[in-house]
Amino acid sequence: QVQLVESGGGVVQPGRSLRLSCVASGFTFSSHSMHWVRQAPGKGLEWVALISLDGGNKYYPDSVKGRFTISRDNSKNTLYLQMNSLRAEDTAIYYCARDLGFTYGRPFDLWGQGTMVTVSS
Amino acid sequence: DIQMTQSPSSLSASVGDRLTITCRATQSISTYLNWYQQKPGKAPKLLIYAASTLQGGVPSRFSGSGSGTDFTLTITSLQPEDFATYYCQQSYSTPYTFGQGTKLEIK
């Protein structure tokens, strides 16, 4: 069925790195821009990264720019988030989400179940 | 960056009530406004996009309106499954930003 499944979360020390993956199935992955969104415990939603259809364009908020890198492998239907120099404030559930497209105003119409990242010594 | 402010932050309501949640942007975002519902322990779910278009499968008791800087989400005849947290989000320009959320609780 149509779904996104994240993996790669865990407990990591401050300053270390972690890579998250998101495997897409049931739809044409290469036809959609993709996002990462995070949610700190008990807090609201924060957009983390956007990658275009072919991976040629990437966007980040200032809070992660220079530390996080979004990428994709369309041959494997997989989205990635490389997170370096992790901080305690990066602790959150990380969701991957599908972009419905510019024609529709770019809402996030499909979400994964999320993977928890805890940054702690 | 465009800031999104929702009101109220929380509210209590009863089954069958009609309620409205508002969302305001710090600059015009045309109709690039989306609404999501999130239940505890679950991923957000898209309810409405482009300010007023109902996502497929979403009950018609949900509706959205607005353009520019002011938007509303209305739920008519609240059902038990509607008690959740609701977020607005602008997709006009990066960084895409969300409102702080409105937690809807049972009275």
Please write the tens of the pLDDT for every residue from B15-68: 999 999 999 999 999 999 999 999 999 999 999 999 999 999 999 999 999 999
Is 90 exceeded by the pLDDT of residue A57?
Answer: yes
| pLDDT of res. B1 | 97
Contacts of residue B89 in chain A, CB cutoff 8 Å? 45, 47, 107-108
Interface of A with B in 44-83 (CB under 8 A): 44-47, 50, 59-62
Contacts of residue A59 in chain B, CB cutoff 8 Å? 94-95
Minimal Cα distance from A98: which residue of B? B46
Q: Are A61 and A45 in contact (CB under 8 A)?
A: no
Closest by CA to B62, choosing from B106, B97, B104, B12, is B104
Closest by CA to A35, choosing from A104, A105, A109, A118, is A109
> 3-class SS at A13?
coil
Dig out the tokens for B5 from the structure. Answer: 């402010």
Looking at the complex, report in whole angstroms how far the Cα of residue B14 sits from the nearest Cα belonging to chain A.
Answer: 24
| pLDDT of res. B107 | 87
